[in-house]
Structure 1
Amino acid sequence: MLRKENILLVDDDIGILELLQRHLQSMNYHTYKAVSVKEAVRILKDTYIDLLITDIQMPEVDGLQLLKFTNEHYPEMPKLVITGYPSVSGTLEGIKSGAMDYLTKPFTKQELKESVEKAFIHGAEKKKKKRPVPQKEEYGGMIGSSSRFQEVTELIDRVKNNKATVLIQGESGTGKELVARAIHYSGKYARTPFIAVNCGAIPENLQESELFGYVKGAFTGANENRNGFFQAANGGTLFLDEIGTASLAVQTKLLRALQEKEIVKVGSRKVEKVDIRIIAATNANLREDIKNNHFREDLYYRLTVVEIKVPPLRERKDDIALLTDSFLHKYGLEYKDRPLKLSPEAAEILQRYEWPGNVRELENVIQRAIIMADGIVEIKHLPDRLKFQIEFEDETFVSLKKMEKKYIERVLQYCQGNKTKAAEILQIDRKTLRSKLE
């Protein structure tokens, strides 16, 4: 005997629920009923559902929120929307949120039957769709094809064959060291030393001796002469990451090294000439550090002969698919002995997420997903923080001020931050909305 499909019905109108249930049971479907999104989510977590049929206009959490939730947590499950408030914008929002079709109340039994059958057909077709594989573009170990990525590579091309000082700025995880390595290894100095130093990882009292070296007897424990990173990088490139963490004493010696091309070991008076290219990087606002007397202004201008700003991943989303495919190949071979693929639904989530941790966070997410997956990386293999979440209101009583704040936040979220549209819905002017936000 064939298994009956399980259909979840969600509507705050009991009469509509009973009508839907009678019609669908006569079509040999098995139904579950929920009068709220909260109850629907509980059923979804405990029961395998083949099709969701939901109303849009419901109190507290509406049907659009439920569609977005199920679209990410249950991507292969088809969804059908029924509403008594038809509108073009509502239809588009429902389809965008994952609905297969749209029915307007009142509807006939035949119209319901056709919509349900169409939803199951579309759901089966969706499973067969494959995500197009983007063409890979690589530059010095970096991957991308977006205009922002190309701006960075164009600057690299201009500085790679000279020893101009470069300051690389960007958020944590954007790949600043990759940019520095690309400058060094793609140019004519590729065969010279490349020494990378994380200034933030060196205790402040050791920064000077680690960078410039020291002579025997310079301090307790200095039992021999020792070269520093400057001597090790002589003739090549010294990459100073997190330059903003360098002490003021070290900044003074760095300035001299840049101006005079010479250094002095700790405990020595002998001047040593160095032929070196300095590339520095920071995720801090050095101009603010200058105002707060934490960074030397003259050193800042010496470092910024050429300035390269590495864009965050949220500003180069066209590169997410390329980066993802690269990580799927790399870690698929490392962990599973074969490259893995990504489902279209999971790809959509990666594309939408804002990536506060940038490329490093994306890489970590793909590593974890590959470990959790057996074949194709799907939504269920991604961390929950990437997925759409429904937040239910606390059932305890709250103050009117707190309730107003929550409602304004909800309207702003619905309007995607558009204050003019939010003010229209709230029936207040923008000035009043601005004051409430403050």
Structure 2
Amino acid sequence: MQLKKENILIVDDDIDILELLQRHLQSWNFHTYKAISVKEAVQILRDTKIDLLITDLKMPEINGSELIKFVAEHYPKLPTLVITGYPSVQDSLEAIKSGVVDYLTKPFTKEELKTAIHKSIKTENNSDVPNTKELKLEDNTYGEIIGKSDKIQSIIEIIERVKNNKATIFIKGESGTGKELVARAIHYKGKFSRAPFIAVNCGGIPENLLESELFGYTKGAFTGADKDRDGFFQAANGGSIFLDEIGNASTAVQSRLLRVLQEKEVVKVGAQKAEKIDVRVIAATNSNLKAMIEKEAFREDLYYRLTVVEIAVAPLRERKEDIPLLVEKFLLKYGLEYKDRFIQLSQQALKVLERYDWPGNIRELENVIQRAVIMSDGKVDVEHLPDSLKYDITFPEETLLSLKAVEKQHILRVLQATNNNKTKASEILGIDRKTIRLKLED
């Protein structure tokens, strides 16, 4: 058969089998690389362009199935041929699921090997593309909330009950889960939707300015206050104010906020007279306010005023059935923005996205899809996803990591996912840019 000088990597812990395969392959004019362990194979793959992987399944320490999974995601276009002396139905199914082209059982003839290699090299790795029309994004959208999971449906049920009254609502959940989208749905799905909706990031405003920004101030109240000015509460009058990261509010702000909730009135900084207001307060945080109360960092009476109705937004890892819908939304958004068309996603890439636990939640998923769309041409495949999402192999000597090493590894992965954007990474990790820099330097 007419064959080019492809590079073939053979992985088997049996030296005799390695030598036999090498002789056969060299007689057919192939370049060969040999590895007697998965660890050695991974090192060769990282340093050399390989055109075909031939591997045994049963090997000491780390078996070949781990290598197959690793290759399927880090080198998705690399065809794989399995050779084993211990065939089983389970092994066969796992190999096929991971994209193995062919499966030979020892002993085999030279001609059977030749046919399997020919088939493997000629086979192109074409991933199925899911029919995005079947996902029915529009049928699983409520305001800006996207999802079909039970956890999303329970949130929507609560919103339907509270949207037409002005009870104080507290939204809790990890950073990046979409707490502001829930607040917006509460406002815009109800009868007050024509009134103002004001979103305030309490963590993004310096502590010494937050009080005057929220409640306004009078002329001469402090240096630079050259005229009376309304705050966010006055701007939201008649509608809703969303106080994100309320745990960052100072004790002075907490005291004023308690008065707003109790008396339905606001006193500007520097003023004596109170102003009546009609505002629905929606607060949110990713902090543990009960723990803050125990440390006397947050007022207990304010906590109970804020939590008249409580909504818990589940992290993405607890509602993975929503990932395909969210991915479709981001593919459409960034496909139109960067490519002027809808970008497709391979089934293998979707499997990787669905398996990952998303510590940065929806915000991290959006960032990954945004980057993947930029890097792709018409279809997002596994090769366009960050390595931190893909299947990895832990070698025995690497299993015992210190807590500091694990922390550093996680920070580096999040930085990679955000293209080294320390501001975005700090939001996902819940720490500031300075802390990231110090931990990396340390």
Smaller-chain TM-score range? Answer: 0.7 to 0.9
More deviation, 27-36/257-266: 27-36
More deviation, 97-106/150-159: 97-106
Aligned equivalents of 2:153, 2:114: Cα separation in 1 = 52
Match of 1:262 among 256, 259, 265: 265
Residue identity in the other structure for 2:305: R
Matched, 1:377 2:384: no
> Relative to structure 1, is the Cα distance of residues 5 and 98 closer, same or farther in structure 2, using a 3 angstrom cutoff?
same
**Paired residue for 1:77?**
78
After TM superposition, give the deviation of residue 318 of structure 1 in Å: 1.1
Aligned length in residues: 396
**Paired residue for 1:397?**
none
Match of 2:310 among 307, 310, 334: 307
Aligned equivalents of 1:89, 1:291: Cα separation in 2 = 53
**Paired residue for 1:428?**
none
The answer on whether the counterparts of 2:3 and 2:28 sit within 8 Å (CA) in structure 1 is no
Residue identity in the other structure for 1:373: S
Matched, 1:281 2:280: no
After TM superposition, give the deviation of residue 43 of structure 1 in Å: 3.5
After TM superposition, give the deviation of residue 279 of structure 1 in Å: 0.4
**Paired residue for 1:248?**
251
Structure 1 stretches (4+) deviating beyond 6 angstroms? none
**Paired residue for 2:427?**
none
Alignment of structure 1 residues 218-233 onto 2, 5 Å? 218-233=221-236
Matched, 1:105 2:106: yes
**Paired residue for 2:359?**
356
Residue identity in the other structure for 2:131: P
Alignment of structure 1 residues 192-231 onto 2, 5 Å? 192-231=195-234
Aligned equivalents of 1:165, 1:257: Cα separation in 2 = 11
**Paired residue for 2:38?**
37
**Paired residue for 2:173?**
170
> Relative to structure 1, is the Cα distance of residues 171 and 274 closer, same or farther in structure 2, using a 3 angstrom cutoff?
same
> Relative to structure 1, is the Cα distance of residues 2 and 12 closer, same or farther in structure 2, using a 3 angstrom cutoff?
closer
Aligned equivalents of 2:195, 2:154: Cα separation in 1 = 26
Aligned equivalents of 2:136, 2:120: Cα separation in 1 = 33
| TM-score, normalised with respect to structure 1 | 0.83
Aligned equivalents of 2:3, 2:266: Cα separation in 1 = 83
**What are the Cα deviations for residues 13-69 of structure 1, in whole angstroms up to 9, with x where unaligned?**
221012223445566765433223344234434544343211123345432221121
Residue identity in the other structure for 1:258: L
**Paired residue for 1:21?**
22
The answer on whether the counterparts of 2:4 and 2:29 sit within 8 Å (CA) in structure 1 is no
Aligned equivalents of 1:359, 1:113: Cα separation in 2 = 48
**Paired residue for 2:347?**
344
After TM superposition, give the deviation of residue 355 of structure 1 in Å: 0.6
**What are the Cα deviations for residues 163-197 of structure 1, in whole angstroms up to 9, with x where unaligned?**
11110111100111111111111111111011111
After TM superposition, give the deviation of residue 147 of structure 1 in Å: 1.8
Residue identity in the other structure for 2:236: A
After TM superposition, give the deviation of residue 92 of structure 1 in Å: 4.6
More deviation, 215-224/302-311: 215-224
Aligned equivalents of 2:200, 2:90: Cα separation in 1 = 54
> Relative to structure 1, is the Cα distance of residues 200 and 217 closer, same or farther in structure 2, using a 3 angstrom cutoff?
same
**Paired residue for 2:54?**
53
**Paired residue for 1:67?**
68
**What are the Cα deviations for residues 297-343 of structure 1, in whole angstroms up to 9, with x where unaligned?**
22111111111111111111111111111111111111122221122
Matched, 1:389 2:419: no
Match of 2:241 among 204, 218, 238: 238
**Paired residue for 1:127?**
126
The answer on whether the counterparts of 2:213 and 2:232 sit within 8 Å (CA) in structure 1 is yes
Alignment of structure 1 residues 174-185 onto 2, 5 Å? 174-185=177-188
Aligned equivalents of 1:301, 1:100: Cα separation in 2 = 61
User: Helix, strand or coil for the counterpart of 1:249?
Assistant: helix
Aligned equivalents of 1:165, 1:11: Cα separation in 2 = 65
Percent sequence identity is: 66
Aligned equivalents of 1:83, 1:96: Cα separation in 2 = 17
**Paired residue for 1:9?**
10
**Paired residue for 2:411?**
none
**What are the Cα deviations for residues 253-282 of structure 1, in whole angstroms up to 9, with x where unaligned?**
211111111121112110111111000011
User: Helix, strand or coil for the counterpart of 2:342?
Assistant: coil
**What are the Cα deviations for residues 187-210 of structure 1, in whole angstroms up to 9, with x where unaligned?**
111110111111112222222221
Aligned equivalents of 2:395, 2:351: Cα separation in 1 = 25
Alignment of structure 1 residues 148-159 onto 2, 5 Å? 148-159=151-162
The answer on whether the counterparts of 2:65 and 2:95 sit within 8 Å (CA) in structure 1 is yes
